[in-house]
Structure formats: structure tokens, C-alpha cells
Chains A and B, each alone.
Chain A
Amino acid sequence: VSPAIQRTIAVASGKGGTGKTTVAAHLALAASRSRNTILVDLDVEAPDSRGYFPDSEAIGPREAVLVSVPRFTGTGCTGCRTCAASCHFGAIIAIGRTVTVNDKLCKGCGRCVAACPAGALAETEVEVGATSLFRSGALDLLEGRMAIGDIRSTAVIEAAKRRASRAGAELQVRDCPPGVSCPATHAIEGADYVILVAEPTEFSRHDLEAALRLVSGRGMQAGVVINKDGFGTADVAELCGRYGIPVIGRLAFTRERAASGAAAKLWADDPELMGGMEGILAAAMAAAPQPAGGER
């Protein structure tokens, strides 16, 4: 059996709380009615996608995300401090012939271990988070979750991306973290299409511009969904026009939707909303770059 072509849509935003998770969850649900779909929660600091699928059940083991950090063996150290000089993250303190490693700051790059001329550093694994696989009806859901107090969100995001690809679904819908720095860039990396969710407020418009610059700078195909349409008066569409990124959907604001959103209730039976999702999905699939010769 030749593997199906995998497509990936990333749902991102710039500003938090504009409705990324709401859009990602509904989009994945709509897609799962016609194709093998996996929803991938990459907002590993605040993973909320599963909240929309309270009936979901684990269909695979929880997999720990491990990072290899150096351990000072105490033998052979000449006190040269090459290890500390090689570390860009301030995770190593070398005083005399004693090396202290701050596990929390270490990114696990292994540079110090390779650099030590005396072989005085070994490696050990620390857990920085986990991935878990669930199923709700026809939809699979992969959740990445960073350990509280950790800073290595990107390690968890990359692990979740790898596991999601292994799952082999035709379509991946990624729920990305807010912002435009490393967690967000890792989350959108490798996607065929990026959906940016904005709301018509000045705050969202400002933050959307940073996200538009990010996807434009990367040459990624993207479209904007205006959520809570009618909630404010900021002209999001004009901004999108300036960046040449189309508005591919609008979800009207109503107090009822806000209330059911507060309870993380799916509007699975709302034909208007689910129809809107079909439209967004179609726009994203049509605009995503076509894989050459069926190979990726």
C-alpha cells in the first residue's frame, strides 16, 4: 500500500485568544467527515484542543519527550572550562575541576559533551513533556504537553510533529501556540498552509500583522479567518489585502457562541458554522502547494 499524501494545515494567530483552538477543532471535525484527519495540539504550554472532545479516549501510550543533558562524571576533568565556554544557554558552570549543569536551562544540543577533550561529560535524559494520542469518533487527536516549569516547548512541539506524521493521516490540522517567536515558528514549520485567526479588534489587527509578516517572510501559503466578526470595528480585511493574503472565512460573533465556547462545546450540529468550516477547508486545500508527482 503506497502511503497517502499527507497534507498539513497550521492554525495560528499572533494574538492569543482569537479562536485558534475553536477553529482548529471545528475544522478538524469537519475534515474528519470526509477524510482521515488528525488534530495536532502544538500549543504545548496551554493544550486545550482535547477540551472540545470530552469523549475522546487514549488509543496509544503516553510518550515522554526526552532531552539528553550532560552529566559531569567527575573523572578526567582538567579544569579547562571548554564545556562552559561552548554552552550558549548558560547551563554550565565550571569552577576548578568541578562542572555543574543546570538541567532546566540546557537545550540538550550536546555541544559541551562533544567539546570536552577529557571525556568528563556523559549524558542522561530528562523529561520535558509528553505526547498522547486520542480518538473521538472518526477524528484522531495528538496532544503535546510541556512539563510545568520547563522552557523547552520546542522539543515537545517537534516530538508531537514527528508522532503526528507517524500516525499517517491524510490531513493534519495543527493548533499552534500564540505569538510569532520560536514556539509558533516551530509549529507552522513544514505546514502546507497556514490559517491565521484574527478578531476585528485593534489588538488583534496589530498582532496579526506580525503573523502576516512571518508567513509572508517564509513564503508560506496562508489565509485569514476573521472570528468574532462584528465584535469590533478594526479593519482586518484591509490589512490582509496589503499583504496579499486572502480572507477565507468569517465566523460571526454571538453571545450564544461565546457562552458555548466558554464551555468548550462543539457546534457540530450548527449547519451554518460547519458549512463555514467546509468552505475554509476547501480554500486551504485548494491553495496549499500541490505535491510534485505524488511524492513529498
Chain B
Amino acid sequence: MMTIAVASGKGGAGKTSFAVALASCLGSSCIVADCDVDAANDAIALGAMLAGREDYHAGSGYRIAPGSCTGCGLCAASCRFEAIRAVPGKKAFTVAQELCERCGACLDRCPSRAIETFEKKAGELFVSRTRAGLVLVHAELEPGEDSSGKLVRRVRERAQTLAGAESRIVVDAPPGIGCPVIASLTGADLVVVLVEASSSGIKDAERLIELVESMKRTAIGVINKSGLNAPMDTRAKAILEKAGIPLAGEIPFDPGLRSVEERGLTWAGVEGPAGERVRSAIGAVEGVLGGMERKKHHEGEKEKLA
């Protein structure tokens, strides 16, 4: 089993489009794990038929029972996140759920046991079959819910349990470099660093590369939206070269690549020069992947002999 994660740092760099195109080229045993649980688009991109769903619970939340609160304020004093506030005009306090980190420090401090826990569905996990016959694991976080990292891990682990020994898992990572991204890259054998050839895209990719290096992942680069601004194209190449990350290919900013899902396609199925560049980049990623698989297999054989 090999896991390839597609990440970019910046949002809108083309992670989803490239990830689903890559998956569509890796054969029918490929599993797609959409780890962008805040903004899950792989189901749209691949045309998904739902095969199963389950609820996701993030853990207990806290609230203050108005009848039991004496207004002493010890809970607010114990909260380091300024999530507990006085109710205006009343001798009572309330939890601002959008700021609550769900640590439970207030629960320990309340002398009148006014703080109660509650469970709330925080999202859903889905397993689907795509139009092309691939298995897609995806999820939707309830807007405003905490712990997207935990749900990401759930998606990734579910994909692993569904994968066979020869399967490849393509992980579509969320933007950024924080908790859900780290959860997405954990366990990845290969990270496709997708660099949008723009000022912001390059800066964000540099931060991602630093994260990938600190996590000791093997990386390969793909540049997207090239041809808009020549100096940016050069800089995008330079940051990959500086990090010693091989370049799999450059995908042009091309109107023919937009909204291809509306035509039932992925980028890999687009005719013409832009599609050609996509297929060439995917070919290079597959080449590296194949090499890693052979090495892994060889090492496994050696271990068996030993």
C-alpha cells in the first residue's frame, strides 16, 4: 500500500483537480481520501454514488445550565480562551461555543456543578463509489465545528482499512499547514507539493515544504497555473530546486481545464496541450511512485530472508 498526498499550502491552487486526475490514472484499486473536510469537493469532481455513511462526533462540548449558575465567575477565570462570558444584565455566565476549545477546565472549577457536557454530531463520514469505479472516502464537517484534524484522521484511516496490499491511496489535503494538514500528511509515502505560480502560492508552498521536511516526507513538485506571469514561473521552479524536490511537470493556466467535472472529466481526460501537460506530470509522479514501491517490495523481501 502506498499513500500519495496532494498539498499546496494555498487554497485554490488546484489540489483537488490534480488529486482526482492522478487517482483516475492509478487504476481501479486506487482509493481517494478527501481530507479537506471543511470544503470537500472530490465527490463533485469524481461523480460519487453514496455507498455508506456514519455520524462523526468530535467529543463533549460544555454549556452552563442557567438555573444552576450562581454567577460566581470562577469558570470564566479558569478559561484561558476567553470563551466564558457574563450574560449581560444577569448574574450568570455563558459559553461562547465558537471560542471554546473543549478542554473542560471550567468543569473542574465550578463549585455549583452548573456546567454540563453535551454531545453533538460534528459531521458525517462517507464511503462512495465514483463514476469511474474508484472508492472515495470523504466527509463533511458541520460548519463551525472544532477538531477537523480528528475527522481527517478518521477519513485517512478508513481509506487504509479499505485498501488492499497493492492499493494506492490518494489523499487530497486541505489548504494551510496546520492541524488538518499535518493529519493528512501523516503516513504519506509521497507528497505532491502543488505550487501555484503566484506570489501567494509560492510563499505558501515554501511554508508547506518546510513542514514536509520537518515531517521527513518524500516530495515531488507540480507547478500549476503557469504561463500567467513568467517571473513567478521561474520562482516556483527555484523554490522546488532549492529544496531538492524534483519537478514532475508544469500545468498551464488554461480555460480548457476549468470546471471539467461538468463534462464528466478530470484534468487527465482533457484533450489538447494542457491535458497533455497534466498527463505528463502524472506520468512523472507515477514513475517516482513505482520506484518507491519496488524499493519497498525489495526491502520487504530482504526482511523476509533475514
Interface residues of A (CB under 8 A from B): 13-18, 21, 43, 45-46, 48, 51, 68, 86, 88-89, 107-111, 114-115, 146, 148-151, 153-154, 158, 177-186, 189, 201-203, 206-207, 210-211, 213-214, 217-218, 231-234, 255, 258-259, 261-264
Contact of A181 among B12, B38, B105 (CB under 8 A): B38
Q: Are B211 and A149 in contact (CB under 8 A)?
A: yes
Closest partner residue, chain B, to A51 (CB atom)? B199
7 contacts between A and B (CB under 8 A): A17-B175, A110-B80, A148-B214, A151-B178, A153-B178, A232-B258, A262-B228
Shortest distance from the beta carbon of A213 to any chain B beta carbon, whole Å: 5
Which residues on the A side are within 8 Å of B10 (C-beta)?
A: 16-17, 46, 48
Contact of A16 among B11, B40, B109, B211 (CB under 8 A): B11
Which residues on the B side are within 8 Å of A18 (C-beta)?
A: 11-12
Contact of A211 among B16, B143, B181, B196 (CB under 8 A): B143
Decide if B158 is an interface residue (CB 8 Å cutoff).
no
Shortest distance from the beta carbon of A17 to any chain B beta carbon, whole Å: 1
Q: Which of B78-114 contact A (CB under 8 A)?
A: 78, 80-82, 96, 98-99, 101-105, 108-109
Shortest distance from the beta carbon of B75 to any chain A beta carbon, whole Å: 12
* Cβ proximity bits B1-44 to A, threshold 8 Å, 1 near / 0 not: 00000000111110010000000000000000000011111001
Q: Are A146 and B178 in contact (CB under 8 A)?
A: yes
Decide if B149 is an interface residue (CB 8 Å cutoff).
yes
Q: Which of B136-190 contact A (CB under 8 A)?
A: 140-141, 143-149, 174-182
Closest partner residue, chain B, to A214 (CB atom)? B143
Which residues on the B side are within 8 Å of A202 (C-beta)?
A: 41, 44, 259, 261-262
Shortest distance from the beta carbon of A137 to any chain B beta carbon, whole Å: 19
Q: Are B38 and A178 in contact (CB under 8 A)?
A: yes
Closest partner residue, chain A, to B82 (CB atom)? A158
Decide if B59 is an interface residue (CB 8 Å cutoff).
yes
* Interface residue range, chain B: 35 or more
State in angstroms the CA–CA spacing of A18 and B45 once bound together: 17
Closest 3 CB pairs of A and B: A17-B12, A16-B11, A179-B38
Q: Are B11 and A17 in contact (CB under 8 A)?
A: yes
Chain A interface: which of B200-208, B241-249, B291-299? B200-208
Apart from the given pairs A15-B11, A146-B177, A264-B199, 5 other A-B contacts in the complex at a CB distance below 8 Å: A46-B176, A86-B104, A88-B59, A180-B144, A186-B99
Contact of A210 among B11, B98, B143 (CB under 8 A): B143
Contact of A218 among B38, B98, B140 (CB under 8 A): B98
Tally of A-B Cβ pairs under 8 angstroms:
208
Query: Given contacts A213-B143, A264-B200, are A184 and B38 in contact (CB under 8 A)?
Result: yes
Interface residues of B (CB under 8 A from A): 9-13, 16, 37-41, 44-45, 59, 78, 80-82, 96, 98-99, 101-105, 108-109, 140-141, 143-149, 174-182, 196-201, 203-204, 207, 210-211, 214, 225, 228-229, 231-232, 253, 258-259, 261-262
State in angstroms the CA–CA spacing of A51 and B206 once bound together: 14
State in angstroms the CA–CA spacing of A201 and B182 once bound together: 28
Which residues on the B side are within 8 Å of A184 (C-beta)?
A: 38
Contact of A263 among B11, B96, B229 (CB under 8 A): B229
Which residues on the A side are within 8 Å of B198 (C-beta)?
A: 261-264
Q: Are A203 and B177 in contact (CB under 8 A)?
A: no
Q: Are B109 and A114 in contact (CB under 8 A)?
A: yes
Q: Are B177 and A45 in contact (CB under 8 A)?
A: yes
Q: Are A263 and B232 in contact (CB under 8 A)?
A: yes
Query: Given contacts A17-B10, A179-B174, are A46 and B144 in contact (CB under 8 A)?
Result: no
Closest partner residue, chain B, to A67 (CB atom)? B80
Shortest distance from the beta carbon of B216 to any chain A beta carbon, whole Å: 12
State in angstroms the CA–CA spacing of A48 and B198 once bound together: 11
Closest partner residue, chain B, to A15 (CB atom)? B39
Query: Given contacts A180-B141, A180-B143, are A207 and B39 in contact (CB under 8 A)?
Result: yes
Q: Are B207 and A148 in contact (CB under 8 A)?
A: yes
Closest partner residue, chain B, to A258 (CB atom)? B228
State in angstroms the CA–CA spacing of A115 and B232 once bound together: 53
